[in-house]
Amino acid sequence: MTKLFYKLSLLSLLTYGADAASLESGSLRKSRHDQNRDLSEEEVLPGYTIEATRDLVTDLPGLAFEPDFKQFSGYIPVSPTRFIHYWYIESANNPSTDPLVWWSNGGPGCSGLLGLGTEMGPFIFEADGSLTPNPHTWNKVANILYVEQPAGVGFSYFSDPSDAAVGDERAAVDNYELLKQFFKRFPERLSNELYIASESYGGHYIPHLAKEILDRNGDMNFRGFLVGNPYVDPFSNDVTMIQTYYMHGLIAWPLYKKWEKHCTDPNDYPEDKCGIIINAMFQESGDGINPYALDFPVCTEIDNDDYPPSTKKSSQFVVNQENNLHEGQTTSISRRKLIGNSPQSSKLLQHTSVLNPPYLPSEDKYHPCAESHLNHYLNRDDVKKALHVKLDRKWNMCTDDIDYSEEDSATPQMDLYQELLHRAQSDGSNLKMLVFSGDDDSVCSTAATQYWIYDIGVSPKEDALWVPWKFENQTAGYVTDFDMGTSSGSSFVFATVHGAGHEVPAYRPAEALALFKSFLSGEWDTN
């Protein structure tokens, strides 16, 4: 396991192991702002706890339609000093039997409300502040628990400054505690199938949380995970980013061949020469390319310099990971050197794709500025009141308020995925595991994902390698089903989504919903 770079306060050490009920009482209960208001028996929702009723969202500003589902928002304490904001969207189909899906975005340090507001949530956040229905929302078939984690992200917060230091292990512990407390607040969901889902740095979050759930061996009905365009292996990400740019016609052949000759051996990497080559590559490609979705336009509604620095964090993702590599470790594309020596390439990642502008369906159009709309909406006081969050908390899509472990961020995760696959094969846990990939992403590319998947020792089932899967009679991507053994009820599947960027549901929302349904059912349209 990786080493954690944080220290709990003495109070945390003394009280963290306290019974879950104590986390909902006393000073913690009072810290939940207007959510501690008294309710009469008549006011409590039938079938729900008092705590859940307090979190019910009843008057969401700008809502332009009558939802056919309930939604709840509030804080869940995961320690005496850390409070995670959640926004729980019930299934519009059958909340009592449909699965529960925990969702977080990546970063590390980016809000799970990006998923709700720009990907698979029930609302499209329009420029005028209105909320219109998303026809491809995942809550058509599932209950979705959107979380802002670790504490310090979005509306989530901590009261002890030492809590700013966090890593993969503590994030997993906190998210497990969040799930425990969620099921106390919503005990009627404890029997529902539980899945965890994420993307990007979710390539770290997901396996760590899955292991935490399995290790605790509690009463959660944990059934598996899905993770999109995951950040798992820095080396394969680096190499395939340049390859993906070249294959998309964004780099000239002479420069590509020069890079291929001099800059692909991690044991023989001439920094100065490769810095010049890579700088020239990105000068050629220009600053109008979105590296997270190479074939999509970028947001031009506003000047990206107007964004607060924290919102640029997602676009700095690859840069940060290179900066975080262990001392002395090199990679074929030294993006740490690239940013240090190349204003043009720095501009590429920081300016052209502020937070990887996504697209949402609205009258069959896509909107690269959806995140700007979401940012303006969530910082309104009337919205904060409706969501039962702190009024003095400024919402940012990604945060600089946490100090995430550099060692954890740079550590490849293949061993952990191997461990999960081995456990799923041997312990009868019957887990569903899906890794999916939008093939228009260069940052966590489809090629990089294949690289690490085949590096963990899996083999496809017979006649199950790279099979086209269909949506509306068109090829939506390719699916590979891996052999988990005849005695195992578990599954491990890799699926691509053709034409989708880094955040698959944002760029191909209809296909993403079809993929999600296929994951739940285990049935793919391959005819």
CATH code of residue 128: 3.40.50.1820
Instruction: Judge if 53 and 156 occupy the same domain.
Output: yes
User: Does residue 401 form part of some domain?
Assistant: no
Instruction: Judge if 53 and 166 occupy the same domain.
Output: yes
How many folded domains does the chain comprise? 3
Instruction: Judge if 54 and 196 occupy the same domain.
Output: yes
Dist CA 320 CA 314 (whole Å): 10
Instruction: Judge if 202 and 93 occupy the same domain.
Output: yes
**pLDDT tops 70 at residue 327:** no
Helix (H) or strand (E) holding 477: strand 474-482
User: Does residue 214 form part of some domain?
Assistant: no
**pLDDT tops 60 at residue 482:** yes
The confidence score (pLDDT) of residue 317 equals 44
Q: How far is CA 286 from CA 25, 238, 344, in A?
A: 56, 19, 8
User: Does residue 364 form part of some domain?
Assistant: no
pTM recorded for the entire structure: 0.84
Instruction: Judge if 284 and 388 occupy the same domain.
Output: no
Instruction: Judge if 44 and 86 occupy the same domain.
Output: yes
Please, which pLDDT band fits residue 42 given cuts at 50, 70 and 90? Answer: low
Q: What is the mean pLDDT of residues 43-48?
A: 91
Instruction: Judge if 195 and 245 occupy the same domain.
Output: no
Active-site annotation holds for 441: yes
Candidates 79, 98, 502, 518; catalytic one: 502
Active-site annotation holds for 422: no
Phi/psi at 519 (nearest 5 deg)? -60, -45
Residue pLDDT, tens place only, 374-409: 999 999 999 999 999 999 999 999 999 999 999 999
User: Does residue 361 form part of some domain?
Assistant: no
Q: Give the residue, 281 or 498, on which the prediction is more confident.
A: 498
Phi/psi at 362 (nearest 5 deg)? -155, 110
Dist CA 53 CA 46 (whole Å): 9
| Enclosing domain of residue 76 | 10-208+219-228+370-396
Respond yes or no on whether the N-terminal peptide bond of residue 108 is cis (omega within 30° of 0).
yes
**pLDDT tops 60 at residue 329:** no
Instruction: Judge if 48 and 185 occupy the same domain.
Output: yes
Q: What is the mean pLDDT of residues 478-504?
A: 94
> Looking at residue 482, which CATH number applies to its domain?
3.40.50.11320
Instruction: Judge if 200 and 283 occupy the same domain.
Output: no
User: Does residue 403 form part of some domain?
Assistant: no
Candidates 91, 111, 198, 200; catalytic one: 200
- Collapsed DSSP state (helix, strand, coil) of residue 435: strand
Instruction: Judge if 374 and 493 occupy the same domain.
Output: no
Q: Which of 252-261, 315-324, 332-341 has the lowest mean pLDDT?
A: 332-341
Instruction: Judge if 385 and 417 occupy the same domain.
Output: no
Candidates 441, 442, 445, 518; catalytic one: 441
Active-site annotation holds for 200: yes
User: Does residue 213 form part of some domain?
Assistant: no
Instruction: Judge if 298 and 340 occupy the same domain.
Output: yes
The confidence score (pLDDT) of residue 367 equals 66
Residue pLDDT, tens place only, 15-26: 333 333 444 433
